[in-house]
Copies of this chain bind each other. A is one copy, B any other.
Amino acid sequence: MRQSQLFGKTAKEERKDASLTSHRLLLKAGFIRESVAGRYFFLPLGMRVHNNITDIVREEMNRAGAQEMVSPVLHPLELWQETNRDNAGNFGLMMVEDKRGAKFALGGTAEEMFVDVVRKFQISYKDLPFNIYQFSQKFRDEKRARGGLLRVREFVMKDAYSFDRDTEAFAETYARMAEAYTTIFARMGLTTKKVLADNGYIGGEYCHEYVVDCAIGEGRYLQTKDGSYCAHEDVAEIRLIPMNPDEEVRPLKTIDQPAWVKSMEDCEKHYGEPRWRFLKNVVYKRIDTGALIIAGIRGDLEVNKTKLEKVVDAIELLEEADEEDLARLGTKPGYVHSWGHEATYVADHSLKTVHNFIGGQKEETTDTIDVNYGRDFTADIEADIVLAQEGHESPYGKVLTEARGIEGGNIFQLGTHYSGKMHDAVYQDEDGSFKPYYMGCYGIGIGRTLATVVEIHHDARGMIWPRSIAPFDVHLVSLAREEATREEADALYRDLSSTGIEVLYDDRDLRAGEKFADSDLIGIPTRLIVSEKSNAEVGYEVVDRATGEVSRIPKAALIKTLK
């Protein structure tokens, strides 16, 4: 491709509001362009990388035995109604109606569609297992769409759906996909770790994210040094140990408390006791119904909103209550009681680890002490709602540290979460009985992966593409001043291209400095310079974008070197 004819110019200025490196560089280098917020054009350079990533994903999915197919983009809304996902929480499902009044969802994922196509066939245990996947446009009606390709409203996703007989067969499928995912990311220069994660609106019992360590990542992970445990903060569990098991349980007492004692800090100061000794209540409100939820937890711990949302079946529907909400309970900040309010009480397991809590019925000048969970109060729901943090212990007793990362892809166990809800989503087993399929699903966002590669592989001058997905193999930069050199560059472009090497040929009428700056920005792995000082006579200057290493290659060895 001659650069003079390439559509999508590099920009001189940078977008002020592009805070992420990948967003900034991809825009500046002319790989992408925004249509409206969260919706992007892939320009020819970006498209080439997008296609290369797609090819790698396809190859590895096929190698793992999955079969490519494709579903319509518009999903009949009835299917989403079968699983009750048409109004699932806050998930941004877009809907459209045709002129005959039929309603469709613009899918964010396609579980229902794939179950629907499978149930159109009468399948038996002999047809299982199989794993079918597609590349298709997905839509998310996100409230905010910032960060370039890392949070968008529309994107191409590879989504796969596996169908197995049972848990045991599924375990193999899941392991095969896990392996394929590691390979897929590795082939693009991304080292991933497999992390326990939250399955959000997808459902099922467990899932894993493939995470690339990266300081700008939107995901927070808790891991042990030895790698024995690694989980997203949304789901990370911690080991709870009794704080004072030997302390004698005393009878509940109401005592005087100075009016200035309000916050947790005040309590520590006044009582001279560590935080774990105090009861803490955090109040949340459902944004759909307004119902209030009081989460009780040990004073030294924080509530994990994502866990709480799952526990009360309000995914993406909770927000912290404000003073007005507390007034409805007849209380105010700092004065929320551990029992007695008109609300749903949820108790974290940590309430069982302390004898003789302080707090629970705080009033202006009094509070209760020696309060014991189970004896003096209980909750409507008892569950793990704790937010794991650095310094906590993993369930197996190793210290957790925090890391940030970008989520590259997900694999989900679904079990019978969908096939159980949708009618006729069954196979006939050996004994003649009909059983729901045992499913899994597996997603990779192509644009997100592309942006992640840029976050990991760049320097101050621009992007540094791994060869496997680079938009071109070679950036042939002509600095020719004389006609003969120009012709030499033209000939070289033709020769290299004819051997199957993908060449971007900078034939533009620009200064060397501008060309090199663009070349660094675009980040093609190898730069080949043709000029009066770099030619067949003296050998060609070849620069490695990643290492900056410069070599001089005689013409005879050129194609072999570049291939």
Chain A interface (Cβ within 8 Å of chain B)?
1, 4-9, 33, 35-36, 39-44, 46-48, 50-51, 65, 67-76, 92, 94-96, 98-100, 102, 106, 113, 116-118, 120-121, 126-127, 130, 132, 136-137, 139, 141, 143, 153-154
Cα(A306)–Cα(B265), bound, Å: 81
Cα(A40)–Cα(B70), bound, Å: 9
Contacts of A118 in B (CB 8 A): 7
Q: Which residue of B lies closest to A76 (CB)?
A: B36
Question: What are the nearest 3 A-B pairs in CB distance?
Answer: A39-B72, A44-B67, A96-B96
Interface centre among A46, A51, A72, A116 (most CB of B within 10 A): A72
Contacts of A5 in B (CB 8 A): 65, 130
Q: Check B121 against A9 for contact (C-beta < 8 Å).
A: yes
**A158 shortest CB reach to chain B, Å:** 13
Known A67-B6, A96-B95, A121-B8; judge A154-B1 contact (CB<8 A): no
Q: Check B35 against A132 for contact (C-beta < 8 Å).
A: no
Q: Which residue of B lies closest to A155 (CB)?
A: B72
**A351 shortest CB reach to chain B, Å:** 38
**A326 shortest CB reach to chain B, Å:** 29
Q: Which residue of B lies closest to A72 (CB)?
A: B39
Q: Check A70 against B42 for contact (C-beta < 8 Å).
A: yes
Q: Check A7 against B69 for contact (C-beta < 8 Å).
A: yes
**A33 shortest CB reach to chain B, Å:** 6
Cα(A139)–Cα(B96), bound, Å: 12
**A407 shortest CB reach to chain B, Å:** 22
Q: Check A41 against B71 for contact (C-beta < 8 Å).
A: yes
Known A36-B102, A116-B35; judge A7-B130 contact (CB<8 A): yes
Q: Which residue of B lies closest to A136 (CB)?
A: B137
Interface centre among A65, A69, A120, A143 (most CB of B within 10 A): A69
Contacts of A130 in B (CB 8 A): 5, 7
Cα(A42)–Cα(B71), bound, Å: 7
Given A35-B116, A73-B73; 19 other pairs, CB 8 A cutoff = A7-B69, A7-B118, A7-B127, A8-B69, A9-B121, A9-B127, A35-B76, A35-B113, A41-B117, A42-B69, A42-B70, A44-B67, A73-B139, A74-B139, A94-B98, A95-B96, A98-B153, A100-B143, A136-B137
Cα(A69)–Cα(B48), bound, Å: 8
Q: Check A132 against B44 for contact (C-beta < 8 Å).
A: yes
Taking a contact as CB atoms closer than 8 A, the residue among B69, B72, B94, B126 that contacts A96 in the complex is: B94
Q: Check A74 against B120 for contact (C-beta < 8 Å).
A: no
Q: Which residue of B lies closest to A1 (CB)?
A: B67
